[in-house]
Each structure stands twice: as C-alpha cells, then as structure tokens.
C-alpha cells in the first residue's frame, strides 16, 4: 500500500458508511494511508464478537443469551491502515471473521442493543485516542458513533456491482456464486437497515458517493479531496 504521500493539515475524524460491497474498506484504508490517518474497520469488530459467540456455543438467535455474554470477549483493534489487526481474547481473529458462517450470523448479533452499546463505546474511545485523526468505516458511524465527525461520506453502488466486488474478494477462499452473493448481500442490507438500534442509514450531512461506475482509484481520490477540504478549513479555523 502507498505510504502517506499527502498529509492532512489538521487532525480529522472521518466517518465512512454504506452497505457491503461499496468499496468502504479498500477506500478507507487507502485514504487513511495516503493522509497519515488511523483506520478502524467497525464491521470487523461486529464480526469478531459474532465469531466469539459462535465458538463459545452461544445461540446467535437468542437475544438474551447474546446480550448476557456480550461483555465477555476482549476485542482489540489495531488501527494502522497498512496492517490493521483484530484480536479476540488475545487470539488473531482476522481470518475466521471472514468465514461464511460469521457473515451469515453477524446481522443477528449486531442487532442486539447491548452488543451495539459496548462496541460503540469501544469505537468512540479508539477514535478519541487516534493521534493524527482517523477514518472509521461502518454502517452507523455518521449518525450514532461519531455524529460530530469532521467529514461524513456515504458510499453506495448497485447490487450487481457490489456482488461482483464481494465475489472478487472471496475468490480462492470459498466457493462463490454471483447470484448467491447478490442475494446474501441484499438480505444482509435489509437486516442491517431495518434493525431498531442504529440501522444502516445516511446522515443528513453526509456526502453521498455512488461508486457503481467509478474505479477504486477514483473513489479514493474523491474522498482524499473531500478530507483535504475539511482539514484545511479546520486548520484555518484553529490558526485564525
């Protein structure tokens, strides 16, 4: 990955939300690396707690059981965009959290209010401690987790484009079928958008970027330019 070729003039907190397969992770990581910011993948944290529930025999459809167990796992996220890490109780969880089993269960676990409250607190403390600012990607960052973020971006793309990108990421790891990926994405979006606590939604003050016909480099450039704009504005306000 490219190292910080440009530097944001002031420390900024950036929220990048949107459904699966819109290029959130690739964009957020690259943008953070270019501008010398930290990077937090909040989906990985929900996947990590889901993985812990599955490996500890908790029925993920039993809301009370998930809520009661939610404070047990210790989840630690490393925020270097060049090498982000995630551990659960000290174990590297980066591989297992991408399994189809975790993907199928994560919407149920992440809909439990106790889980969201704990993970939201964790996300806020990570963002507050980021020395040079941070890019935080997820579903509810702009509205719930960091409503005072300096910049909010909401990425979208057609279901076809999203399914094709997701399949590209999975290839070689698990058997993939485009129609099945598309259906699974649509089902997960519906669950994430309709849950009662912090559903996937665009903040009123977020900049929406439709990535369907854009290359990854174009999306990265677009978000870098937006960040440089808010960062320069912030630096001006501080020195004035």
Among the candidate windows 38-46, 52-60, 86-94, 226-234, which touches ligand DC by CB under 6 A? Answer: 38-46
Shortest separation between residue 39's beta carbon and ligand DC, angstroms: 13
Binding residue for ligand DC, selected from 47, 152, 165, 182, defined by CB under 6 A: 47
Listed in sequence order, the DSSP H helices in the chain are 24-35, 42-55, 63-69, 100-110, 113-129, 159-170, 178-194, 216-239
46 binds ligand DC (CB under 6 A): yes
Nearer to ligand DC, 39 or 46 (CB): 46
Quote the CA–CA distance of 93 and 114 in Å, as a whole number: 21
Among the candidate windows 2-10, 104-112, 167-175, 221-229, which touches ligand DC by CB under 6 A? Answer: 104-112
Size of the site for ligand DC (CB under 6 A): 14
Nearer to ligand DC, 10 or 49 (CB): 49
DSSP H or E run through 140: none
Q: Which of 151, 159, 161, 125 is nearest to 40 (CA)?
A: 125
Quote the CA–CA distance of 62 and 32 in Å, as a whole number: 37
Cβ–Cβ under 8 Å, residues 191 and 107: yes
Flag whether 11 is marked binding: no
- The secondary structure of residue 212, as a DSSP letter, is T
77 binds ligand DC (CB under 6 A): no
Nearer to ligand DC, 146 or 214 (CB): 146
Quote the CA–CA distance of 74 and 224 in Å, as a whole number: 33
Q: Which of 239, 228, 238, 234 is nearest to 35 (CA)?
A: 228
Flag whether 3 is marked binding: no
Shortest separation between residue 101's beta carbon and ligand DC, angstroms: 13
Binding residue for ligand DC, selected from 29, 34, 139, 234, defined by CB under 6 A: 139
Quote the CA–CA distance of 110 and 67 in Å, as a whole number: 10
Flag whether 23 is marked binding: yes
- The interface with ligand DC within residues 167-186 (CB under 6 A) comprises none
CA 240 to chain centre: 34
23 binds ligand DC (CB under 6 A): no
Helix-strand-coil percent breakdown of the chain, rounded to 5?
50, 15, 35
Q: Residue 6 has which token pair? A: 């440009």
Shortest separation between residue 235's beta carbon and ligand DC, angstroms: 28
- The secondary structure of residue 207, as a DSSP letter, is E
Nearer to ligand DC, 110 or 181 (CB): 110
Q: Which residues are annotated as a binding site?
A: 18-26
What is the contact surface with ligand DC in residues (CB under 6 A)? 20, 42-43, 46-47, 106-107, 110, 138-141, 188, 192
Q: Which residues are annotated as a binding site for ATP?
A: 18-26
């Amino acid at each position: 990955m490219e190292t910080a070729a440009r530097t944001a003039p002031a420390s900024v907190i950036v929220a990048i939300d949107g459904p699966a397969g819109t290029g959130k992770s690739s964009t957020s990581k690259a943008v953070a690396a270019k501008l010398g910011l930290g990077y937090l993948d909040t989906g990985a944290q929900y996947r990590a707690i889901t993985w812990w529930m599955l490996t500890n025999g908790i029925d993920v459809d039993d809301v009370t059981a998930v809520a009661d167990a939610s404070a047990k796992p210790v989840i630690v996220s490393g925020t270097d965009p060049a090498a982000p890490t995630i551990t659960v109780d000290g174990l590297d969880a980066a591989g297992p959290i991408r399994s189809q089993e975790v993907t199928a269960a994560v919407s149920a676990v992440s809909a439990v209010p106790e889980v969201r409250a704990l993970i939201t607190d964790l996300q806020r403390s990570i963002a507050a401690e980021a020395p040079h600012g941070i890019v935080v990607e997820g579903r509810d960052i702009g509205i719930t987790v960091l409503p005072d973020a300096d910049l909010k971006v909401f990425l979208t793309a057609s279901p076809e484009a999203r399914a094709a990108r997701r399949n590209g990421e999975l290839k070689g790891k698990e058997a993939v079928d485009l129609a099945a990926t598309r259906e699974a994405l649509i089902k997960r979006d519906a669950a994430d958008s309709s849950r009662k606590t912090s559903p996937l939604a665009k903040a009123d003050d977020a900049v929406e970027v439709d990535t369907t016909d854009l290359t990854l480099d174009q999306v990265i450039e677009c978000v870098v330019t937006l960040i440089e704009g808010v960062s320069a504005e912030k630096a001006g306000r501080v020195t004035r």
